[in-house]
Structure 1
Amino acid sequence: MTHPAADKIIDLYQTHAKDWDSLRGKSLNEKAWLDKFIAILPSLNAATVLDIGCGSGEPIAQYLIEQQIVLTGIDSSPSMIATCQKRFPDNQWRIADMRTLSLNQQFDGLIAWDSFFHLNHEDQRKMFQVFSAHTRSGGVLMFTSGPEHGEAIGRFCGEQLYHSSLSEDEYTQRLNQNGFDVVDHVVEDPECGHHTIWLARHR
């Protein structure tokens, strides 16, 4: 049975959007992975990227925009999206739940950094069809996960913060079944805040 905190993620981030933005920090520990992602995007100029769970847009979306990426960001929190719209008015920002995402558009790249891992196991399994539907042939997907199958409960602003992960083998299998080949994968990368990262290309 999924931990009850899984159903409170959207409300938690909406309620504490300003706290999250303040605590997130603007240092870009993810830069090396973002550069890997950008380097293999299929379009050399004005590549299109969908940032899934974009938060308040800093620092990841900001960095991608600075690299001349045509960025669209989605987040389930209206407050987060309002902040993005204020900071980066020339980009597209949408309030959306990734689990029901259907933009009728394919992108050169998708990124779900520290967002996808808030879904429960079954919702994560279903997401690979969503990823595939929104990634063009030759496009790139990057996401973070946990290091092994299980659930983990953190704390944020005094409330329980849910995370879950499938196993490494299952992620590889589901990527493959949905048209993705793994390009790079590191478990708890010490150079990137011990994030577990997946980089894959759509066939």
Structure 2
Amino acid sequence: MTHEDQQPPAAVLFDTLGADYEKAFAHAPAHLAALDWLIERLPPAARTLDVGSGTGRPTAAALVAAGHSVLGVDVSPVMVELASRQVPEAEFRHADIRQLPLEQDAFDGVCVIFPLLQMTRAEQRAVMRRLTLALRPGGHLVLATVPADVEDAEVAFMGQPVRATSFAEDGVVAMVEAAGLTVLARHDVTFAPDHPAAGPEPHLFLYCRREAPTG
């Protein structure tokens, strides 16, 4: 068995893409707007979690620049190495969020920017439940995905063959709400990555909060 055979498919993909992924996606206006929204709502020196942290830009870099601590998690060792070099103020961990232990009520903010697409639907639901519990009551979470009613579909992504699973938009919202989050806003955009092998993509951004208990 080769090393690639032992890695999750997402790790193989993003090891291959490396810094090209940042060039293609880091300037996305909807991504930057979601970060601004989250940062406006974080308390001073907040503790944040960046799931699928990639190269560290723009998410971890923006959070650090705003004075917050960041734990970035990514299955790609290449991405973790790039992020650690580019955003040394943050902590980056090579790990699979599906298996990483998470302390309850540990984070003031959570970013989930496109890491779910190579998980099964059951895994996506389970991860969102775990992330909700890791978010403190009153904390905020931003999520981005490609809304599509597809399951284990073969697609081309930046010239690489991948298998993707997602939900249509209402299904994504239902998954997030079932996990225990309130969706405060949703934004549908079309984005064209800066890459010759990539075409325009539909993106869905959800702005969410874990409600504090009442009474």
Q: TM-score, normalised by structure 1?
A: 0.82
The one-letter code sitting in structure 2 at the alignment partner of 1:74 is V
The answer (yes or no) to whether the contact 2:72–2:92 under 8 Å persists in 1 is yes
The 5 Å alignment of 1:151-162 reads 151=151, 153-156=154-157, 158-162=159-163
Q: Distance in 1 between matches of 2:10 and 2:154?
A: 11
**Alignment-mate amino acid for residue 186 of structure 2:** H
In 1, distance between residues paired with 2:190 and 2:67? 27
CA displacement at 1:28 relative to structure 2 = 4.9
Amino acid aligned to 2:205: I
Quote the Cα distance in structure 1 between the aligned partners of 2:108 and 2:45: 10
Deviation of residue 77 (structure 1)?
0.9
Q: Would you say 1:165 and 2:166 are equivalent positions? A: yes
Output the CA distance in 1 between the equivalents of 2:13 and 2:184.
33
Give the aligned partner of residue 177 of structure 2. 176
Residue 38 of structure 1 deviates from its aligned partner by 1.7
1:202 is displaced (CA, Å) by 0.5
Within the alignment, does 1:196 sit opposite 2:201 as a pair? no
Report which stretch shifted further, 163-172 or 127-136. Answer: 163-172
- The answer to whether the 8 A contact 2:48-2:68 is kept is yes
User: Would the aligned equivalents of 2:60 and 2:87 in 1 still touch at CA under 8 Å?
Assistant: no
Aligned residue for 2:194? none
AA partner of residue 128 (structure 1): M
Q: CA deviation at 1:155?
A: 2.5
Q: How does 1:114-125 map to 2 (within 5 A)?
A: 114-125=114-125
The yes-or-no answer on 1:66 pairing with 2:60 is no
Contact 1:143 1:197 in 2 (8 A): yes
Contact kept? 1:109, 1:139, Cα under 8 Å: yes
Per the normalisation by structure 2, the TM-score is 0.78
In the alignment, is the contact (CA less than 8 A) between 1:116 and 1:143 conserved in 2? no
Q: 1:95: how far off?
A: 0.7
Q: 1:95-134 residue pairs with structure 2 within 5 A?
A: 95-104=94-103, 106-134=106-134
After superposition, the CA RMSD in angstroms is 2.6
Give ranges in structure 1 of 5+ residues lacking alignment. 1-6
CA displacement, residues 162-191 of structure 1 (integer Å, 9 cap, x when unaligned) = 33222333333333333211111123367x
Give the alignment of 1:131-146 within 5 angstroms: 131-146=131-146
Structure 2 gap segments, 5+ residues each: 1-7, 192-200
**Do the aligned partners of 1:28 and 1:60 also contact (CA within 8 Å) in 2?**
no
More helix, by proportion: 1
**Alignment: residue pair count:** 194
